[in-house]
Each structure stands twice: as C-alpha cells, then as structure tokens.
Amino acid sequence: MLHVDLIAPIGKLVDRHAKERPEQVAYWDSSRSITYAQLAKNTAAIAANLAKAGVREGDCIAIYLPNGVDWIEACLAGLRAGAVIVPISFEAAEGEISYRLTDANCGTVITTPARKDLIAKISREAGISPKMAYAGGGAPQDGLSMADLAAGGGATPPDPGDMDRSSFIIYTSGTTGRAKGVLLSLRSMLWIAAACWAPIGQLSTTDVVLSPLPLFHSYGLNLSVLSVLAVGASEHIMEKFSPQQALELLETGKYTVFPGVPTMFHYLLHKAQESGIERLGNVRLCISAGAIMPATLNRAFEDRFKTPLLDGYGITETSTMVTMNWLRGERPIGSCGLPVPGLAVRIVDPSSLEDVPFGEEGELIVRGPNLMKGYHNKPEETASALRKGWYHTGDLAKSDLSGYLTITGRIKELIIRGGQNIAPAEIEEVVLRHPHVTDCAVVGIRHATLGEVSCLFIVAKPDELDVDALMDHCRAHLSSYKIPEATHFVPEIPRTGSGKIMRFKLVEALNQTA
C-alpha cells in the first residue's frame, strides 16, 4: 500500500528518473519544457553554484515566480542545495511579500527581472539585503542568473540526506488574517505521495497531468511538484487557471489527470455547459482538494463528463492530505473520503476532547508522519495546535458508520444565532444549487438581540437573479433560522490559492460600507 520507494532525497529521485527515462518530458509550460535528464543536470548545477555563492544548509530561499518550469527548477535546486524553500505567490501584495521575506529571514530571492525594482523597494523599507537570482531572460547584472547557474555544471551539489529537517516554510492561506509559516519536512511531503497519490490516485509514470494549481500553495507544491517528480509522471503547468483554456487542452486527449479546487470544477462545468462539451479527452481522474466540495457540484460534474472527481480533505499543517476518496468501492457523494492509510484521526468534543459518537459533529484531530514540525517563530501557536502528538485542525467533521468523513465547517466560522449553530457551508451549498448563482459566501454579522445572523454574498447578474425567489429556494431546503438575513451582490468572492473563502475580507468590506 505505502510506496516507500517514493520517499527519498530530491537528488536520488531526479537521478533515478534521469537513468530510467532520460528523454521523457518531466514538466512543460507555455514557453519551455524539461526532460528528466535535463532536470537532473540543471538542478545539480544550480544547487552546486548556489552553494558556491554562499547558500548554506538551512538558509531560506524565497521563490517568487509565476507557475512554470522555472518555478519547479528553482524549488528542486534549492532543496538539493540544502535550503529551506519559502514559496511566495506571484500575485501577493507588497506587504505580504515583505512579511514573508522578513519573517523567514530569506537570504536569497529567486524571481523574474520584472520584479527586481519591487523587491529592491521592499528590501530597503524592511532593512534587509537578500541575494537576488533571476529566472528567465534578461537577468540584471547585479544578481545571479538561473540560466548561468544551470550552465555552469561540473561541481557536486550538496544533496543533503536529512529528510526530517525543515525543508519548507509554507505560509497558511490566511483565511482569518495574518498568515503563519508552517514548517514541513521533505519526508512529510513525500509521505503523502507514497500513502495517497500513488496508491489511491494511482499516479504513475504513465500519467500526463494538466495542473492549474498554484505552486506556491501546499496542495500544488505537494502534488504538482514533488509527487509528479516522485512517481516519474509528466506534467503541463498552466500559469493561471482559465476554464476555456483548460477545456481546450483537455479535449486534445493528451492528459490523464486533472487536479483542481472546487471553484475550478464549478467554472469548468459551467463553461462546458455553455459550450456543449461533454467529454474531457482521455482524463481518467479529476482530483479536488483545498476547500469543501459541494455534493451537488461533484454529482453534476461526474454526470456530465463520466469522469471520476475524487474529493479529499487536506491542510497545510498535514503536508496536505488527511482524507481521500478512492477510485474503487463505496463513495458517498459529499464525503471527503477515508483517512489516508497510516494516519490516525479522531473527532472530539472541542471542550472535553472526548470522542463523539458516529454521526455527531466534533473537531477533527490528526496524528501521523505528515504532521508539521510547528509554526515558524510561533511557539505559543505551535503548542496550541500540536497537543500530545495530535494536530487540532479547528475543522468540524462527522463520520458515518463506515468511517467516511464529512467536513462541516470551521469552529471559528460557526454562526451562533440565538444559541443555534449555523455552518456557512450548509447555506452555501443550497444557494449554489440555484441556476442563476455563480458563486457565494456566508458570514456572520452582529445582531442586537440574536447575537449573530447570517449574511449572504452572491456572485450573479442582478437582472437575472430574483432575490425573493432565491430566499424561497433557501426556505425549501433550510430551517428558518438558517435563512440569510441580508444579501449583497459582489463581483467575486475573495479566495485563497486553494479555493478557501477569506470571510474576514467580506466582513471588512461590510464594515467599511456600514
């Protein structure tokens, strides 16, 4: 069951595939591709030359690049140099970049020449002076060129063998505010490839993946970077997700696996319905993680495309996956599946920490080889989250008698209306069933007598959506106390790279207009 051969240092993995399939394309994007032989050669040279330039084991390297082969190469080379990789979204705001560079004490930043001035400005204001390395053409004279580092081969890369040290600082999505840096080891990340993607998703060297996932996020980093490498698959990396482009690519028949987040599958289905598309080429499997998958969306997607869409649940602190649905056997739609083999999970009463009965809601806690080492520079938060070897997720869940888990929301997101608990996800799933709603989110707002009530934000065309009819639709499927008290039209729902709703931003926007 556990594919232990996939858990190995990066140097051993790339060298293995360079020998077994040297001419197979490992990764490609819209501008370049790289074979396994080239990947082994380039990452070895870059790692050796980074070490020669002063990068030492344990130093932090920020990767601030768009999705693409350059991102992959920089990440794998950094790991081979013994560095700690700090991924930063290429769309991150200036303050977010500054916070990550300073919090992680990044000594090197790998970015594009176009972002040179921005990093220089941030560095001046933050009082830091990282080394600069540039991917792509036209590298400035005052920094390292990744192309030059790759061409200057000959030296032996450090290739550290310690797989249990911190190899990544991945900043949490920040759904409730300022992000925390999650310390993850290479072993914990590759353990997910060995225990989940290879045995459950059957990811192998014969697969060709089309990935729209943001690589700076733990889900994309784990599946689209490390796991594709571990199994020796091939992958086309989309710089950004576009449902039209994704459908066009999938229809070519080149691809066998398509991972995404629920919102991507929602837009993909909507675009396919508009275009009359009913097949996804030769795709054998679609994978959803990162946020709660509405059961109605899962069912509608599979009914249209006749392709399995397996939903799973994961979080950064567990190196991504905790549960996953399987290709064979029972699969209750709406459930996020069974615990990944080798993991221990419990559903407990948050106050007493006693296990709750089957079918009842409680907090999901997890123990296993994929747990984070802690939060970077945050001992109190680490002690609160990791207790007696168990990671307390803060997510509410329930289990059926067969052990299938369903995530019902987050403890901190519960809306308590007059003493009654309301899970935003339950309302959102009902609202999304309405044919004129494109996207939505529910938050709690203060109420003078009830404490909190639910407020609904909708992405829809106001001239097409009758709000009264939508409320009638809600009343047909929800208890009266769960019906939203207020409704607002918005152009988009703010989400993280993994598709999670940033509810605090909606509350902030509401407070600013109040």
Domain regions of the chain by residue span: 29-184, 241-410, 414-513
Mean pLDDT of 252-275: 94
State yes or no: pLDDT of 304 exceeds 50.
Answer: yes
CATH assignment, 29-184: 3.40.50.980
Strand 106-111 with 181-185, pairing:
unpaired
The pLDDT assigned to 155 comes to 80
Per CATH, is 414-513 categorized as 3.30.300.30? yes
C-alpha to C-alpha distance for 180 and 172, rounded to whole angstroms = 5
Contact 199, 3 (CB under 8 A): yes
Per CATH, is 241-410 categorized as 1.20.200.10? no
State yes or no: pLDDT of 41 exceeds 70.
Answer: yes
Contact 166, 371 (CB under 8 A): no
Mean pLDDT of 429-446: 92
241-410 matches 414-513 in fold: no
Structure tokens at 108: 């090197």
Name the percent of the chain lying above pLDDT 90.
78
Facing residues of 85 across strands? Answer: 61, 168
How does pLDDT run across 346-375, given as a tens digit for each residue? Answer: 999 988 999 999 999 999 999 999 999 999
The residue among 368 and 413 whose pLDDT is bigger is 368
C-alpha to C-alpha distance for 505 and 409, rounded to whole angstroms = 18
Contact 200, 326 (CB under 8 A): yes
Residue with tokens 């080394």: 131
The pLDDT assigned to 174 comes to 54
The pLDDT assigned to 175 comes to 47
Strand 25-28 with 33-35, pairing:
antiparallel
319 confidence band (pLDDT: 50, 70, 90): very high
* Averaged pLDDT of the chain: 93
Mean pLDDT of 226-232: 98
514 confidence band (pLDDT: 50, 70, 90): low
State yes or no: pLDDT of 5 exceeds 90.
Answer: yes
pTM of the model: 0.86
How does pLDDT run across 95-116, given as a tens digit for each residue? Answer: 889 999 999 999 999 999 999 9
Lowest mean pLDDT among 119-128, 239-248, 455-464, 494-503: 494-503
How does pLDDT run across 498-513, given as a tens digit for each residue? Answer: 788 888 889 888 887 7
- Angle, helices 262-275/295-305, rounded to nearest 10 degrees: 40
Q: Please give the DSSP secondary-structure letter assigned to residue 154.
A: -
State yes or no: pLDDT of 481 exceeds 90.
Answer: no
Name the percent of the chain lying above pLDDT 70.
98
Contact 95, 26 (CB under 8 A): no
Structure tokens at 214: 């943001």
410 confidence band (pLDDT: 50, 70, 90): confident
C-alpha to C-alpha distance for 30 and 68, rounded to whole angstroms = 8
